[in-house]
Chain A
Amino acid sequence: MMFPVRCFTCGALIGHLWEEFKKRVEAGEDPGKVLDDLGVKRYCCRRMFLSHVDIYYEILNFPKVS
């Protein structure tokens, strides 16, 4: 739902980079270049960024019933 704290495959910390990545890509920068810039080298970590959808923005408005 939220961007993962660590890469699923290698376990590197990536959570703190998401917001900057998102901001810069939405501003029109090339995702690959932004990742190079952020120092995300391995392709296991890179796909974490490229394939993520921030779905919690919508789910936030539907609280769980308990």
Chain B
Amino acid sequence: MVEIRVLEKNPYVLKLHVKDIPLHVLNSIRRTILSEVPTMAVDFVVFTINSSVFYDEYIAHRLGLIPLTSEEALEKYKSPEECREAGEKGVFSEDCFVKLELEGKGREGEIVTLYSGDLKTSDPDVKPIHDKIPILALTGNQEIKLEAYARLGRGKEHAKWSPVSIATHKYVPNILIDYEKCKGETCKECIEVCPRNIFDLVDGKLIVKSEKIYECTLCRYCEEKCPVNAIRVKWIENEFILTIESTGSLSTKKILLEAVKILEEKINDFINSLKERGVLE
């Protein structure tokens, strides 16, 4: 029976302890999240004026990396594949692209920094997730004027479209202590060496702190350092920890739902093409 326990949940991070979901299924979901779930990101930038010390490419790259809110955009705009084609042809149509404008002038003897919050968007649903990301700085008579075009895209095309900074799965550590061998209070070697402070002494007896066990990195340093070989670092079969850290463009909930939806579509496509070729009835 599939069992899921939420270990951590905030707007950006979701950490789940899952039981009895096979590793290959979990990994498919993870990889779909990384490379298939679409988000909005700047893809083309048109410079009208740039007399700053920063090159066009440098500014365009910084703009591309700014995460844009994409929750509503997923339904509103055309698919990444269609929009990619439109963009390559130079057609910046409204059903694909959101325009973000940036304008600024320097002042003599002063440094004027332009932030993501200075971008004027053509669609309020698609805007930088944070207003304080510096884009460039100007001084003296330097000037900038540009139009950036954002579209939906997928992580496999460029990492800027990936909805997550990290998506990982990990085994659930299981640390076995052989109490017949362990010297407890007189030794304490493992307590000192563990980088994650997993162990503790209670009434002279070595214990594993249950609330800390998820932080164990399975580095096996404790195993190596124990003078009497009393520790075994193992993992639990068929249980994993799935961690998703969103960049902020989509909520972790939406990321998971989209990933499962995309995976399902892919499997259906596969079955349909098998049917077409007469492999399946």
Does A3 sit within 8 A of B, measured CB to CB? Answer: yes
Contacts of B245 in A (CB 8 A): 12
Assess the B134–A1 pair: CB atoms within 8 A.
no
Contacts of A13 in B (CB 8 A): 67, 129-130, 133, 165, 247-248
Q: How far is the CA of A12 from the CA of B129 in the complex (A)?
A: 13
Q: Which of B111, B133, B159, B162: most chain A Cβ within 10 A? A: B133
Does B221 sit within 8 A of A, measured CB to CB? Answer: no
Assess the A63–B162 pair: CB atoms within 8 A.
no
Does B136 sit within 8 A of A, measured CB to CB? Answer: yes
User: Which of A47-66 touch B at CB < 8 Å?
Assistant: 56-57, 59-64
Contacts of A1 in B (CB 8 A): 54, 58
Assess the A63–B62 pair: CB atoms within 8 A.
no
Q: How far is the CA of A16 from the CA of B129 in the complex (A)?
A: 10
Contacts of A6 in B (CB 8 A): 65, 165
Can you name the residue of chain B whose Cβ is closest to the Cβ of A5?
A: B65
Assess the A63–B51 pair: CB atoms within 8 A.
yes
Contacts of A59 in B (CB 8 A): 53
Contacts of B130 in A (CB 8 A): 13, 16
Distance (Å) between the CB of B100 and the closest chain A CB?
15
Q: How far is the CA of A6 from the CA of B65 in the complex (A)?
A: 7
Summed over the interface, the residue pairs from A and B with CB atoms below 8 Å come to a total of 65
Does A30 sit within 8 A of B, measured CB to CB? Answer: no
Tell which of B133, B136, B137 touches A16, judged by Cβ atoms closer than 8 Å.
Answer: B133
Assess the B162–A11 pair: CB atoms within 8 A.
yes
Contacts of B62 in A (CB 8 A): 2, 5
Assess the B159–A11 pair: CB atoms within 8 A.
yes
Q: How far is the CA of A3 from the CA of B132 in the complex (A)?
A: 12
Secondary structure at the B interface, as helix, strand, loop or mixed, is: loop
Distance (Å) between the CB of B77 and the closest chain A CB?
22
Assess the B142–A63 pair: CB atoms within 8 A.
yes
Distance (Å) between the CB of B71 and the closest chain A CB?
17
Q: Knowing A11-B159, A59-B53, A64-B53, say if A2 contacts B133 (CB, 8 Å).
A: no
User: Which of A14-66 touch B at CB < 8 Å?
Assistant: 15-16, 18-19, 56-57, 59-64
Assess the A62–B53 pair: CB atoms within 8 A.
yes
Assess the B132–A2 pair: CB atoms within 8 A.
no
Q: How far is the CA of A11 from the CA of B158 in the complex (A)?
A: 12
Does B79 sit within 8 A of A, measured CB to CB? Answer: no
Assess the B133–A15 pair: CB atoms within 8 A.
yes
Q: How far is the CA of A19 from the CA of B132 in the complex (A)?
A: 9
Which residues of B approach A to under 8 Å, CB–CB?
A: 51-55, 58, 62, 65-67, 111, 116, 129-134, 136-140, 142, 159, 162, 165-166, 245, 247-248
Q: Beyond the given A11-B159, A13-B67, A13-B130, could you list 14 further A-B residue pairs with CB under 8 A, ordered by the A residue number?
A: A1-B58, A2-B62, A5-B62, A5-B66, A5-B133, A6-B65, A10-B165, A11-B247, A13-B133, A13-B248, A15-B134, A16-B132, A16-B133, A64-B53
Sample of 20 A–B contacts (CB below 8 Å): A1-B54, A2-B62, A4-B65, A5-B133, A10-B165, A11-B159, A11-B165, A11-B166, A13-B133, A16-B116, A19-B134, A60-B137, A60-B138, A60-B139, A61-B139, A61-B140, A62-B53, A63-B51, A63-B142, A64-B55
